[in-house]
Amino acid sequence: MTLQWGYKRAFLRCALLFVAGTTLQMGLGDIDNSFLRYPWGLIIAINYVYLLVLIHFQQERWSWLKRLSDHYACTSSLVAMILMTMIFGLTRQDPATEGLVGALGFSRMTSSWSFNILLLYFTTTTGLAVMDDLHHIRKRRVAAVMSHLAVFVMLVAGIFGSGDKVRVSVNTQLNKPVHMGVDRAGKPTQLPFAITLKEFKMDEYPPKLYVLNTATQTSSRDFLSVEEVGASMVVDGWELTAEQYIDMAGRMPESDEYREMQHIGAAPAVLVRAKNTLSGEEYRGWVSCGSFIFEPSYLFLSKDIAVAMPRREAKRYLSRIEAENEKGETEKFNIEVNHPAKIGSWHIYQVGYDTARGRWSSTSVLECVRDGWYSAVHIALWTMLAAGVVMFVTAGGRKPRKEEQR
- Whole-number CA gyration radius for the chain: 29
Q: How many structural domains does the chain have?
A: 3
The closest alpha carbon to 272, from 318, 315, 309, 237, belongs to 309
| Cα separation values, 324 from 197, 330, 331, 340, 362, Å | 12, 4, 7, 16, 20
Whether residues 220 and 293 share a domain: the answer is: yes
Looking at residue 1, what is its pLDDT?
45
| pLDDT band with cut points at 50, 70 and 90 for residue 377 | confident
Other beta carbons within 10 angstroms of residue 14's beta carbon come to: 22
Whether residues 359 and 282 share a domain: the answer is: no
* Within a domain: 403: no
| pLDDT band with cut points at 50, 70 and 90 for residue 51 | very high
The residue from 312, 330, 348 where one domain ends is 312
- Asked if pLDDT for residue 375 goes beyond 90, the answer is no
Contact 209, 223 (CB under 8 A): yes
The contacts of residue 161 (CB under 8 Å, 6+ apart) are: 36, 41, 45, 371, 372, 373, 376
* Within a domain: 348: yes
What's phi and psi for 112, nearest 5 deg? -85, 145
* Within a domain: 404: no
Taking only the tens place, the pLDDT of each residue in 107-138 is 888 889 999 999 999 999 999 989 888 888 87
Whether residues 320 and 270 share a domain: the answer is: no
State the average pLDDT over residues 174-198.
90
Looking at residue 289, what is its pLDDT?
93
The residue from 297, 312, 327 where one domain ends is 312
- CA atoms lying within 13 Å on the CB side of residue 361: 22
Looking at residue 94, what is its pLDDT?
72
The proportion of the chain whose per-residue pLDDT surpasses 90, expressed as a percent, equals 51
Largest CA distance in the chain: 100
* Within a domain: 400: no
Looking at residue 404, what is its pLDDT?
41
| pLDDT band with cut points at 50, 70 and 90 for residue 77 | very high
What is the rounded CA–CA span in Å between residue 53 and residue 128? 8
Whether residues 105 and 75 share a domain: the answer is: yes
What is the rounded CA–CA span in Å between residue 32 and residue 24? 13
* Within a domain: 399: no
The residue from 290, 312, 334 where one domain ends is 312
Whether residues 215 and 348 share a domain: the answer is: no
- Asked if pLDDT for residue 167 goes beyond 90, the answer is no
Whether residues 154 and 13 share a domain: the answer is: yes
* Within a domain: 300: yes
Alpha helices in 5-98 (DSSP H): 5-28, 40-58, 63-66, 71-90
Q: Is the peptide bond prior to 39 cis by the omega test (within 30 degrees of 0)? A: yes
Whether residues 87 and 231 share a domain: the answer is: no
Whether residues 187 and 265 share a domain: the answer is: no
What is the rounded CA–CA span in Å between residue 25 and residue 31? 8
- Asked if pLDDT for residue 292 goes beyond 80, the answer is yes
State the average pLDDT over residues 264-289.
94
* Domain containing residue 346: CATH number: 2.60.98.10
State the average pLDDT over residues 43-48.
92
* Within a domain: 188: yes
* Within a domain: 9: yes
105-114, 199-208, 215-224, 371-380, range with the lowest pLDDT: 371-380
State the DSSP string of 351-391. EEE-TTTGGG--EEEEEEEE-TTHHHHHHHHHHHHHHHHHH
What is the rounded CA–CA span in Å between residue 171 and residue 1? 58
Q: Which pTM was predicted?
A: 0.65
State the average pLDDT over residues 208-218.
93
Whether residues 156 and 263 share a domain: the answer is: no
The proportion of the chain whose per-residue pLDDT surpasses 70, expressed as a percent, equals 95
Residues in the chain, total: 406
- Asked if pLDDT for residue 406 goes beyond 70, the answer is no
Whether residues 243 and 287 share a domain: the answer is: yes
Supply the range of the domain harboring residue 380: 5-165+375-394
What is the rounded CA–CA span in Å between residue 315 and residue 317? 7
Looking at residue 396, what is its pLDDT?
55
The C-alpha angle 348, 351, 353, rounded to 5 degrees, equals 120
Whether residues 261 and 288 share a domain: the answer is: yes
Taking only the tens place, the pLDDT of each residue in 302-343 is 999 999 999 999 999 999 999 988 888 899 999 998 889 988
Q: Which amino acid is at 299?
A: L
The closest alpha carbon to 250, from 259, 242, 241, 263, belongs to 259
Give 48's DSSP letter.
Answer: H
Looking at residue 398, what is its pLDDT?
52
Whether residues 13 and 61 share a domain: the answer is: yes
Angle between helices 142-160 and 40-58 (to 10 degrees): 140
pLDDT, averaged across the chain: 88
State the DSSP string of 80-100. HHHHHHHHHHHS---TT--HH
The contacts of residue 80 (CB under 8 Å, 6+ apart) are: 11, 14, 17, 18, 118, 121, 122
